[in-house]
Structure 1
Amino acid sequence: MYQTPQTIPGMLKRNVVDFPDREAFVSVSHRTGAWVRYTWLDLDRLSDRLAAGLAGLGVRRKDKVAFLHGNSAECYLAYLAIHKLGAMFVPINARLVAREVEFILGHAEADYVILGSDFLSLADEIRGRLPVKSWVCMEKEGRALPEWTVSFAALLETSGPPPDVEIGPHDEADLLYTTGTTGMPKGVILTQVNKIACGRMLGASAGLSRRQYGWDRCQNAFPFFTSTGVSSVLMNWLYYGFTQILEPVFEVEATLETIARERTTFYGGAPSMFIFLLDHPRFKEYDTSSLRTVSSGGSAMPEEVTRRMMEAWPGLRIYNFYGLTEGGVGGTYLDASDALRKLGSIGTPWVPDQEARIVDDAGRDAAPGEVGEIAIRGPNIMKGYYKNPEATADTLRNGWLHTGDMGYYDEEGYFFYTDRMKDMIVRGGFNIYPVEVESVLFEHPSVLQVAVIAKPHPKLGEDVLALVVPAKGRQVEPRELMDFCSDKLADFKRPREIVFVESLPLNPMGKMDKKALRAQYMNRDS
């Protein structure tokens, strides 16, 4: 036995040595639109070529390389190549609009950008205001590129090895942007060792070994630009060496078809995804009997859905995970054996090195059943927020990551999530902070006051509801405000319903009482 590598390139090399000819990655090529299959050796050779090409372009250790694209075969190649050079990977949500992308690129001080051809017009709009050295475009076959871009396909044809770069376990690996409660995104710095810990602990929590897990065929459609996609999914794959099947997007029938074709054994998705799968009228026409295990996150798995899944796939093992970007998506997990016994629980800390506790307002440990803030500690916890020491100091205290989520634990040590301190909305697995939506609506001259809260959604879990007090003497329709948001907010953040009210409730401190609003509108039909 040899020591587990503590860097991302080291993990790749270990898989090349152990499983050179094993099918490692299956996805759709952005260039051709066709499904492609790579072994571990293929991935190593192709990412070497790309790394050499990027190095020739000027990419160096500690440079920041942003990535703007959806799911495709090129995603993993780019990630591996960037890390072979010791550069920092900065994924950007492909659903953001131009001003949101511009803010992140500027704040991150991105040196280079790799983007899909679908984002060329967006990039052209903002590139003159950013000090980006080169824009690398993943083109589609047969389409010409503008002169200000560099061809991704051409870089993949680079001959010769990439430079030999010394990378340490505590080097900064990824810079992931998560929406801040002030409305501005915050950059989460994860080191190489943070990332490795994410991959190791996720599988270990499920009692899996590298050899056992290595034979699985794991499928998911989590967007690569999310922390789930680039931390838990990708790092679990790198650590355990199984076959990863990455869907371009989640489309119910296409997902069922892929499970049947690929004989998928493990599927990862948000609870809403499983509801869509089970509700599809042709669900039983697809042979999904190969499925043995599923993992879920983003919100607790509803009891009805858990039971329906177990009926659809007898013997199915269901794991539910709770975490956040700042923890590399690490936190707690509910073991498959407890899926029905501890319904509603987010489980116990990841093993072997994760700790969790509940603290009161004074920072003291809460007693069983007492609601407080969830705090976690472990090797997966972020280094800090980029260029934001105040937020780092507020979130990381005495080695503990204070999540901003409320919960409690029972006498057996199982944790339960109850509420958010920060009012976040989770829509189909995507995090939305109301203050960001509110700040956009406030820009409209007909809006005097606004409060954005979650409203229940039967499949997505939650959706966005905006309560608006119109400015005196102004007339405005909901559709006008929705259209106003369309070029200022990513589609998943936009309000799906706008309700006009005469006033908004305040608490005794004179602040907006969102707790009262949530209670009033929780069971309201659209």
Structure 2
Amino acid sequence: MQQPVRIYDVITANLASQPSAPALEYGDHRWTWTEVDDRIRRLAQALRDAGVEAGDRIATLDKNNAACLELTFAASLIGAVNAVVNFRLSSEEIRYVLDDSQAVLLFAGPDFVPIAAGLAAELPHLRRIVALGGEDDEYEAFLAGADPLTEVFAADDDTAFLQLYTSGTTGRPKGAMLTHRSVGSHTARVAPAYDMDARTVNLVAMPLFHVGGTCWALGSMYAGGRTIVVRDLVPDQLLALITGEQATHVFLVPAVIGMLTQVPGIGEAFASVKVLGYGGSPMPLPTAQAAVATFPSGLYSVYGMTEMSGTFCVLRPEDHRDADRPHLLGSAGRVIAGNEARVVDPATGHDVPVGQPGELLIRSEQIMSGYWRNPAATAATITDGWLHTGDIVRIDEEGYVYVVDRAKDMLISGGENVYPAEVERVLTEHPDIAEVAVVGAPHPTWGETPVAYVVPAPGREIDPDALITYARERLAHYKCPTSVVVLEALPRNAMAKILKQPLRDRAEQLVNQ
């Protein structure tokens, strides 16, 4: 297959070459390429019949469901965009994303219809909620009631069709607009990078609101393989699925891989797996060493981001098992062909010498077109065609990338990005708090965990447990502090800027007690 000009070429190329081959699976449902094409074209027409126009956003709010992929493809056929909502967010955060996206239709899973219905009155642009699965399933009837679409929207390379939200240092999620060019380029590059072909049996266990879910799925579909969408990542069920379906490709976060290395006989369960990818957070060295010793699979470390439509750097299996260069286990790998990398001094923007740390900039066709309705953030992130990753890295003489620090103070807990500014914004709304600073502390299972340092308002006292409960009512649980430390004052420099490094050092001691 050649690089897709439009993302739907992923479907039409396989429809032409292997119409009766298995394409997509979800639960008890199995569809061939012919059936997938028919379903998506009916869905596209149903969207158009419901008044969805080019440029409109629809939204999907559910755990992993093959319907989310169908909606993404269907939206692309009519020039619309599927905004996939992180189902782990609090209701307040979900309301913000739905409001920001201006979604006109919402497809909500059975666990989320009540939340969506409660928010509908606050979202005048939302015309309809379609129940997705469960006893009151409306999705199948919505799809089946339409004729297959015949008039496809004339999209260009820079037309967006997928919108995934990434939190930012402003404390509010930003919608990254992913286009035919960006996702098509990514798909064409990573499928061979992961050795995907028509024999691939790919398990999609990562959430589809992540590029590690949706764009991982698109890779195997592009290659003509069989793609299996896993609704919930339950270890016992996952292992049964791997052995029962003889899966060849699996992608997980390091925390899950660390848990699996403790399961007796896990290597035998992974005998069919050729590619075990991992990413979303750094792999602790002991976990990486245990994975190398445990799994017969080819290990692939993935470094990517939403704004890049997914992966742009891979550490391949031979690097994981290079006895002469064990330090490579601490690397994020090398930049995939077709992407250009620079390391610059954040203060001057000038390139730094090889091996010296600086901010990583990437130039690539994989880059998003920008943040939805946020030109200021777009301009700050993409300059002269270069994407500012916000990560401080060094690149050695052989091109291996080593992540040194995260310039934007982001921490990663269980594969999920947590931005302290977002948590701080919520906590400072509590009447008992005058100031707050959130930092990450090492965690043996989740990689990192948020710790909040708080200064009470005059005449107030702070109950740490009550503050954690307060946060959990307003934020996804993975973003909430697991520890709260009350201080008389936060450490500051001469310019009155809060010094977070002493707080990180103290948090590490706190967690290790």
Give TM class, smaller chain. over 0.9
Name the counterpart of 1:321: 302
Tell me, yes or no, if the aligned pair for 1:256 and 1:286 is still in contact at 8 Å: no
Structure 2 letter corresponding to 1:432 = V
**Match of 1:336?**
317
Aligned residue in 2 for 1:221: 205
Residue number in structure 2 paired with 1:247? 230
Moved more, 71-80 or 360-369: 71-80
Letter of the structure 1 residue corresponding to residue 30 of structure 2: R
Where does 1:446-525 land on structure 2 (aligned, <5 Å)? 446-524=432-510, 525=512
Using the size of structure 2 for normalisation, the TM-score is: 0.94
1:354 is aligned to: 339
Matches of 1:139 and 1:250, distance apart in 2 = 19
Moved more, 398-407 or 299-308: 299-308
Contact 2:254 2:281 in 1 (8 A): yes
Matches within 5 A, 1:183-222: 183-206=171-194, 208=195, 213-222=197-206
Task: Please name the residue that 2:20 is paired with.
Answer: 21
Q: CA deviation at 1:257?
A: 1.5
* Offset, 1:184: 1.3
- Quick one: structure 1 residues 140 and 199, their matched pair in 2 at CA, closer, same or farther if it must change by over 3 Å? closer
- Aligned letter for 1:260? T
CA distance change for structure 1 residues 511 and 12 in 2, over 3 Å: closer, same or farther? same
| Aligned-partner residue type, residue 320 of structure 2 | A
Which amino acid letter does the alignment assign opposite residue 23 of structure 1? Answer: P
Q: Distance in 2 between matches of 1:226 and 1:292?
A: 23
The Cα shift of 1:141 comes to 4.7
CA contact under 8 A between 1:465 and 1:497: conserved in structure 2?
Answer: yes
CA 1:270–1:48 in structure 2 vs 1: closer, same or farther (change >3 Å)?
same
Q: SS of 1:213's equivalent?
A: coil
Counterpart selection for 2:241 from 245, 255, 258: 258
Cα distance between partner residues in 1 of 2:91 and 2:331: 39
In 1: Cα distance, 2:438 partner to 2:409 partner: 9
- After superposition, give the CA deviation of every residue in 1:76-108 in whole Å (9 maximum; x if it has no partner): 222222222221111111111222122222222
Structure 2 distance, partners of 1:477, 1:447, is 11
| Matched residue SS, 1:503 | coil
Structure 2 vs 1, CA of residues 141 and 388 (structure 1 numbering), >3 Å: closer, same or farther?
Answer: closer
TM-score, normalising length: structure 1: 0.91
Tell me, in whole angstroms, the C-alpha distance in 2 between the residues paired with 1:48 and 1:141: 23
Q: What is the distance in 2 between the residues matched to 1:291 and 1:45?
A: 31
Equivalent-residue separation in structure 2 for 1:292 and 1:453 (angstroms): 38
Give yes or no for contact 1:448–1:468 (8 Å, CA) kept in 2.
yes
**Could you tell me which of 377, 398, 415 is aligned with 1:412?**
398
* Structure 2 counterpart of 1:37, one-letter code: R
The whole-number CA distance in structure 2 between the counterparts of 1:205 and 1:284 is 25
Could you tell me which residue of structure 1 aligns to residue 258 of structure 2?
275
SS of the residue corresponding to residue 112 of structure 2 reads helix
1-structure distance, mates of 2:162, 2:495: 40
Give the conservation status (yes or no) of the 8 Å contact 1:257–1:286.
Answer: no
Q: Deviations over 1:326-366 (max 9, x none)?
A: 11123211122112431211111112x11111101211111
Amino acid in the other structure paired with 1:294 = L
- Structure 2 residue aligned with 1:100: 93
C-alpha separation in 1, matches of 2:419 and 2:429: 17
Match of 2:32 in 1: 39
TM-superposed CA distance for 1:14, in Å, is 0.7
Aligned to 1:116: 109
Residue 5 of structure 2 aligns to which amino acid in structure 1?
A: Q
- Displacement of 1:65 after TM fit? 0.9
Q: CA deviation at 1:248?
A: 1.1
Q: Which amino acid aligns with 1:177?
A: Y
Structure 2 unpaired stretches of 5+: none
Contact kept in structure 1, 2:436 and 2:453, CA below 8 Å: yes
Distance 1:179 1:348, change over 3 A: same
CA drift of 1:139 comes to 4.4
C-alpha contact (below 8 Å) 2:434/2:457 kept by paired residues:
yes
Q: CA RMSD in A?
A: 1.9
Confirm or deny: 8 A CA contact 1:196 1:239 kept in the other structure.
Answer: no
Distance across 1 between alignment mates of 2:334 and 2:267: 37
Aligned to 2:459, the other structure's residue is in SS state: coil
- Which amino acid letter does the alignment assign opposite residue 261 of structure 1? G
Q: Is residue 23–residue 225 contact of structure 2 (8 Å, CA) maintained in 1?
A: yes
Q: Is residue 60 of structure 2 the alignment partner of residue 67 of structure 1?
A: yes
Q: More deviation in 425-434 or 4-13? A: 4-13
SS at match of 1:8: coil
